Copies of this chain bind each other. A is one copy, B any other.
Amino acid sequence: MFMTENKILKLLYDKKDCYLPVQEIETTINISQTQVLEEIQNLKDKGYVIDSTDSGYRLTGVPNLLLPYEIKKNLHTKFLGKNIHFFKEVDSTNDVARELAREGAEEGTIVVAESQRSGKGRRGKKWISPSGGVWMTIILRPDIEPVKAPQLTLVTGVAVAETLDQECGLNIGIKWPNDILIGDKKVSGILTEVETKKGEVDYVLVGIGIDLNMDISIFPPNLRGGATSLKAELDREIQGAELVQRFLQRFEILYNRFKEGEFREILTEWRKLSSTIGKYVEVHKKGRIVYGEAVGVNKDGKLILELDDGTLRKVVSGECIHTDKN
């Protein structure tokens, strides 16, 4: 069914400047007139604006949604995004991707949703995911030691930060370990989950959320100060499918380098994008708080703090808060 839809979309795009006769669709794709009418209605339901006259159909508007056809069109990747599953609404894209991965979905398969009912942040925190954002999970099957899988969070962070930086040229930074900031406001988060089988990586789910085209006012008041969206910062609508395309292309390059053992070099890029290093921070973990100056990250991506008494401490994970203390 999707195949037919894509074929019709291709015809409509190819003839964007004139009307495409119904008969031409029927004969080119070899379907009945009833099927054509149905498919055109499906496309309209998805948000495509299609003008109908006696001469045929003409595509006059494309919805700003992460529709598979729109992402794949002109996508320059080898394997990332060759299979895209789109949903109007899911509980969480990571959950759907887990099901697909268990059923054997190929490396590079992507799940995108227009909104999530119960998107997840790290450590079970709720992640507000209304329409207008990028809610996406990538299924990866890297041949690496499971202990190295969390490094993919940092690799993804570099890809997201570089993509957003190229898109908007704002003051993009990465807050350790996995938040992307514009200035000091969060615009994107990454949640990586690993499944092992017999001591080896079965699959890795890389979940990415980006606040794209939503108004800040929809965030709950307690989050409003700390969150922003690209639209709020740039005061214009962003084309989501194009942004995802650019992200996938950049991520594929970095992921290939990662698999070839270049994590050290990618970490150098991460450090340059870091807005945590050099800041005085609080790291919250399991009810305990560590305070200190973030002086660096080590080769595994652990945060190195210099505490007030001058001692050095490695932090593996936790919620990091940038403070104003100098």
| A interface: dominant SS | mixed
In whole angstroms, how far apart are the Cα atoms of A306 and B298 in the complex? 7
State A297–B299 Cα separation when bound (angstroms).
Answer: 14
Q: Please give me the residue from chain B that is nearest to A312 by CB atom.
A: B312
A277-B271, A278-B267, A314-B312 known; A304 and B293 CB under 8 Å? no
Task: Answer yes or no: A73 CB below 8 A from chain B CBs.
Answer: no
Residues of A that sit less than 8 Å from B by CB: 264, 267-268, 271-272, 277-278, 293, 295-299, 304, 306, 310, 312-314, 326
- When distances are taken between beta carbons in the complex, the residues of chain B under 8 Å from A272 are 271-272
CB-CB < 8 A to A313: which residues of B?
Answer: 312
CA distance A306 to B264 in the complex (A): 15
> How many copies altogether?
2
A304 touches B299 (CB 8 A): no
By beta carbon, the residue of chain B nearest A274 is B271
Q: B264 near A271 (CB under 8 angstroms)?
A: no
Give the chain B neighbours of A312 by CB distance below 8 A.
304, 312-314
Least distance between A301 CB and chain B CB atoms (Å): 11
**Closest-CB distance, A313 to chain B (whole angstroms):** 8
Residue of B nearest to A280 (CB): B299
* Chain B nearest CB, measured from A290 CB (Å): 14
- The answer to whether B295 and A298 have CB atoms under 8 Å apart is yes
Residues of B within 8 A of A306 (CB): 298-299, 304
CB distance from A34 to the nearest CB of B (A): 62
7 A-B pairs whose Cβ atoms sit less than 8 Å apart in the complex: A267-B278, A271-B272, A277-B296, A295-B298, A295-B299, A296-B297, A304-B304
Additional A-B contacts beyond A278-B299, A296-B296, A304-B304 (16; CB < 8 A): A264-B278, A264-B326, A267-B278, A268-B278, A277-B296, A293-B298, A293-B299, A295-B295, A295-B298, A295-B304, A296-B304, A298-B306, A304-B312, A312-B312, A312-B313, A312-B314
A278 to B304 alpha-carbon distance, docked (Å): 13
Smallest beta-carbon distance A120→chain B, Å: 30
Chain B hits for A267, CB < 8 A: 278
Complex: chain B residue closest to A273, CB-CB: B272
